[in-house]
Structure 1
Amino acid sequence: MTTERSVTRPAMGMRMSERLRAAAAYVLLLAGSVLILAPFAWMISTSLKRKIDVYVFPPQWIPDPIMWSNYVKALTVFPFPRYTLNSFIIVVFALIGTLLSCSFSSYGFARLRAPGKDAIFLALLATLMLPSAVTMVPLYLMFNKFGWIDTFLPLIVPSFFGSAFFIFLMRQFYMGVPRELEDAARIDGCNTYSAWLRIMVPMTKPVLATAAVFTFMWTWNDFIGPLIYLTDENKRTIALGLSYFQGSARSAPELHLLMAATIYSIIPCVLLFFFSQKVFVKGIVFTGVKG
């Protein structure tokens, strides 16, 4: 009897300590979630306020009255449907170019044999250390010489020449795929291009989804590129449209309209991550453990 009690008490103590640790973890996660979601909640609240209620102190979390008309006004005072269409055109072509160029380039670095391949790959990675401000002026002069200013080409064409970050990311994934699969494909008559397209691409959907999500987010939210290269009002993107509500020397910021337009602009990003969450997380994990 004494032995059973001595065995039961430590087991109960371990279960209690595990429950306490789990409770503490949930409390910390809840607190972190509140801190992260508080700015988003404030953005929604501000988007439904009147202009005079934005700067009220103490802050008013629940708008009174609720101004649903802010969304209509924010999306009609400037041609946001046109800005949205322009952003989608740029994003779609940038996605196609990035996935094609980076996938095929990373396959070559991971699988093919060529003299100086490692040196070229190191030079490619070295470009990651270059700030974008260093290349901004030379790129503008080059695109201006091509006659591409005030077109979507400067925002689309560079994606077809690869990105060092995504090439490195995909190369790590390709190096974890067994070579026996390629050998079997070559025995069946596949050349290098067929092996990449029919064997490697279907097996690397997680890392392709990761690259697609990052490319969509960066291109959709890009502000500097469209600001530099686009001058025609009808060709501007949604990121530029948001800046119109920030005010100027002659007008005060329209924060309630800015928040309403911002919520509209982040809907595609939220939907993209929601539908690709599982594949996206899988790609991040796999590229971190393979190589």
Structure 2
Amino acid sequence: MKNDTNVKEELNKRTSDDSGKKKSLRKSTSKKIADGIIFTLLSIFSISMVLPFVWMISTSLKTPGQTRTSTPEWIPDPIIWTKYVEIWEKAPLLTGFMNSTMYAVIVLSLGTFFTALGAFAFAKLKFPGREKLFLALLGTMMIPFPALMIPHYILFVNLGWIDSLLPLIIPAMLGNVFMMFFLRQFMNGISDEIIEAAKIDGSGFFGIFWKIMLPMIKPAIAAQVILWFMNVWNDYVGPLIYLHSPTNQTLPLMIANFNAYYDIQNDFPLIMAASLVSMIPLLIVFFAFQRHFVESMNYAGVKG
């Protein structure tokens, strides 16, 4: 009897082990299938995002006649590079590059500093009305830009700033509310004990901000700099309203005028070459800060 009982227990154990292995195998198989489906969908989405950029490169290397063919030609034959030389001869793109670079550098350098300083104040300093003032700042994000265009234009006319970069630079360099909100949330995740320890060591608030907080929030700043630079570099409405002289125009405004003129002549390779050249600074900034961008996203995900 004892032997029969032991045999039954052994059979039951093996059966349960086999069923457990089958369940884990089914789970592993279903997980692999789900991962495969997700990978396929993401690959299709990525290819659909890259294809327009590839088509722009292909078109910029063609002749105007090749762009009017009925069948798409992804690899031009022959490949022509002359359009990348012509764009500098047929439009003052270098002036546009210089104006856009000045606009972006001043706004991002000073604006990032003032925004981070404001975020530090709202995150770590205690003062009356702090939350109400911060909510008021967030409320300004709800005001659409068209509602402010006429008052802003009248103000800048009275100041004599029209047809200069000042209407674009001065308001933006004072700070970015969305970036301030993001950095404030990032700083709230940093322990207050670090601030108290720095105070005990005799450091002032600006010293704490400059020596402690700024190095700790570099990933968050890098992520926001990428997004802010995209908005500044691609800004079209502001320059269209305030800038009139060709020597003061930024690159997006010059590209728009350039495209409107050569679109009539069906010179699409020239248009694509100019558009691709205007994207180079965006790519440089992204690849320069992408590591910090990913770090900030990982931090936000872990914190969440």
Give TM-score, length-normalised by structure 2. 0.88
Question: Partner residue of 1:165?
Answer: 178
Show CA shifts across 1:211-246 (max 9, x none).
Answer: 211221111111111222222212221111211232
Say which SS state the counterpart of residue 244 (structure 2) adopts: coil
Say which SS state the counterpart of residue 225 (structure 1) adopts: helix
Show CA shifts across 1:49-100 (max 9, x none).
Answer: 2112223223222223322111111232112122111111111000012211
CA–CA separation in structure 2 for the residues paired with 1:249 and 1:95: 33
CA–CA separation in structure 1 for the residues paired with 2:267 and 2:239: 22
Residues 250 and 77 of structure 1, relative CA distance in 2, 3 Å threshold: closer
Say which SS state the counterpart of residue 64 (structure 1) adopts: coil
Match of 2:32 among 9, 16, 19: 19
CA drift of 1:205 comes to: 0.5
Is it true that 1:207 corresponds to 2:220 in the alignment?
Answer: yes
Give the RMSD, CA atoms, in angstroms. Answer: 2.2
CA drift of 1:151 comes to: 1.6
CA drift of 1:170 comes to: 1.0
CA–CA separation in structure 1 for the residues paired with 2:298 and 2:120: 19
CA–CA separation in structure 2 for the residues paired with 1:184 and 1:190: 9
Show CA shifts across 1:180-226 (max 9, x none).
Answer: 11101111111111111111111110111122112211111111112
CA drift of 1:140 comes to: 1.4
CA–CA separation in structure 2 for the residues paired with 1:118 and 1:202: 25
Question: Partner residue of 1:217?
Answer: 230
Contact residue 64 and residue 266 of structure 2 kept, 8 A: no
Say which SS state the counterpart of residue 98 (structure 1) adopts: helix
Match of 2:278 among 248, 265, 272: 265
CA–CA separation in structure 2 for the residues paired with 1:5 and 1:174: 52
Extract unaligned runs of 5+ from structure 2. Answer: 1-10
Structure 1 segment 266-285 matched on structure 2, within 5 A: 266-285=279-298
Match of 1:34 among 40, 47, 53: 47
CA drift of 1:248 comes to: 5.1
CA drift of 1:5 comes to: 5.1
CA–CA separation in structure 1 for the residues paired with 2:98 and 2:301: 35
Contact residue 230 and residue 282 of structure 2 kept, 8 A: yes
Q: Which has the greater radius of gyration?
A: 2
Question: Partner residue of 2:251?
Answer: 238
Match of 1:87 among 78, 97, 100: 100
Say which SS state the counterpart of residue 276 (structure 1) adopts: helix
CA–CA separation in structure 2 for the residues paired with 1:212 and 1:253: 37
Show CA shifts across 1:102-160 (max 9, x none).
Answer: 11111111111222111111111111111111111111111121111122211111123
Structure 1 residue identity aligned to 2:95 = R
Is it true that 1:70 corresponds to 2:72 in the alignment?
Answer: no
Task: Indicate the percent of aligned positions where both proteins have the same amino acid.
Answer: 37
Question: Partner residue of 2:7?
Answer: none
CA drift of 1:173 comes to: 0.8
Question: Partner residue of 2:268?
Answer: 255
Contact residue 246 and residue 254 of structure 1 kept, 8 A: no
Structure 1 segment 91-106 matched on structure 2, within 5 A: 91-106=104-119
Is it true that 1:192 corresponds to 2:210 in the alignment?
Answer: no
Question: Partner residue of 1:116?
Answer: 129
Say which SS state the counterpart of residue 190 (structure 1) adopts: coil
CA–CA separation in structure 2 for the residues paired with 1:218 and 1:174: 24
CA–CA separation in structure 1 for the residues paired with 2:188 and 2:83: 51
Question: Partner residue of 2:3?
Answer: none
Structure 1 residue identity aligned to 2:124 = R
CA–CA separation in structure 2 for the residues paired with 1:289 and 1:139: 42
Question: Partner residue of 1:139?
Answer: 152
Extract unaligned runs of 5+ from structure 1. Answer: none
Name the stretch that deviates more: 277-286 or 78-87.
277-286
CA–CA separation in structure 2 for the residues paired with 1:185 and 1:41: 52
Number of residue equivalences? 291
CA–CA separation in structure 2 for the residues paired with 1:249 and 1:182: 58
CA–CA separation in structure 1 for the residues paired with 2:169 and 2:302: 32
Is it true that 1:286 corresponds to 2:296 in the alignment?
Answer: no
Say which SS state the counterpart of residue 215 (structure 1) adopts: helix
CA–CA separation in structure 1 for the residues paired with 2:274 and 2:266: 13
Say which SS state the counterpart of residue 68 (structure 2) adopts: coil
Structure 2 residue identity aligned to 1:96 = S
